[in-house]
């Protein structure tokens, strides 16, 4: 598999998603300490704050996950001059052409699960602290761009009864859905598929009616011509 093929694969494991999310977060929020050693990356993954779900990875898990991410072309391990410890960095800017608000949004979704636009706006503040821009517009534009990519990076969940705002999830791999989106109630992807099926059925019905009207019109014109 060549590098171009590797970077299009998005069926990431939970460990790969957590590690990538942490690398993006730490690059943006603590650039002086980036890239990260395996120990620092393990600590970032296992944080009890700003993480959902909370995990307890070992350093061996971190190293195995980094090996997989390097093979996918999504991360690199480097060692600077005079340094004894290998350090890790993501290359999502190169692999997926993601930058700025788009990377920030994706990182928060990877680390915290389903989020509303308001939550994303608040939780990407630290990532974009040095940017001179309209954060509100940036986040919404980033979500649109991520959703319109083929294949998409994110999906807007159907708004549930009682919710003021719909929530977004990433599509990088299996993602735990909020409790109200249990499989028995229908997955968000199934809901989208059902809506598409319904629209296609309506279109087929309209097309059939139009064909029938066209046939009747042609018959009428023919009868008038014969008369």
Average pLDDT per run of 10 along the chain, which is 227 residues long? Answer: 45 98 98 97 98 98 98 93 87 97 98 96 91 66 96 93 90 76 54 65 78 81 72
Q: What is the pLDDT of residue 6?
A: 39
pLDDT in the model for residue 3: 39
Q: What is the pLDDT of residue 54?
A: 97
Position 131 scores a pLDDT of: 58
Q: Is the peptide bond before 48 cis (omega within 30 degrees of 0)?
A: no
pLDDT reported for residue 45: 99
The answer to whether 62 and 42 have CB atoms below 8 angstroms apart is yes
CA distance 42 to 39: 5
């Amino acid at each position: 598999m060549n590098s171009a093929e590797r970077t299009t694969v998005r069926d990431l494991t939970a460990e790969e998603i957590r590690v990538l999310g942490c690398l993006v977060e730490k690059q943006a929020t603590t650039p002086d300490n980036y890239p990260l050693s395996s120990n620092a990356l393990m600590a970032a993954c296992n944080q009890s704050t700003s993480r959902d779900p909370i995990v307890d990875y070992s350093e061996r898990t971190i190293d195995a996950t980094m090996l997989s991410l390097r093979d996918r072309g999504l991360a690199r391990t480097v060692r600077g001059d005079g340094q004894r410890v290998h350090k890790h960095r993501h290359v999502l800017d190169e692999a997926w052409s993601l930058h700025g608000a788009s990377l920030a949004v994706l990182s928060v979704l990877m680390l915290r699960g389903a989020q509303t636009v308001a939550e994303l706006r608040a939780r990407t503040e630290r990532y974009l602290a040095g940017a001179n821009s309209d954060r509100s517009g940036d986040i919404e534009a980033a979500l649109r761009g991520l959703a319109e990519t083929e294949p998409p990076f994110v999906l807007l969940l159907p708004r549930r009864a009682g919710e003021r705002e719909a929530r977004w999830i990433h599509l990088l791999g299996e993602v735990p859905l909020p409790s109200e989106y249990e499989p028995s109630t229908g997955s968000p992807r199934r809901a989208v598929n059902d809506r598409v099926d319904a629209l296609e059925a309506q279109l087929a019905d309209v097309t059939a009616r139009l064909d029938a009207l066209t046939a009747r019109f042609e018959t009428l014109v023919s009868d008038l011509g014969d008369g």
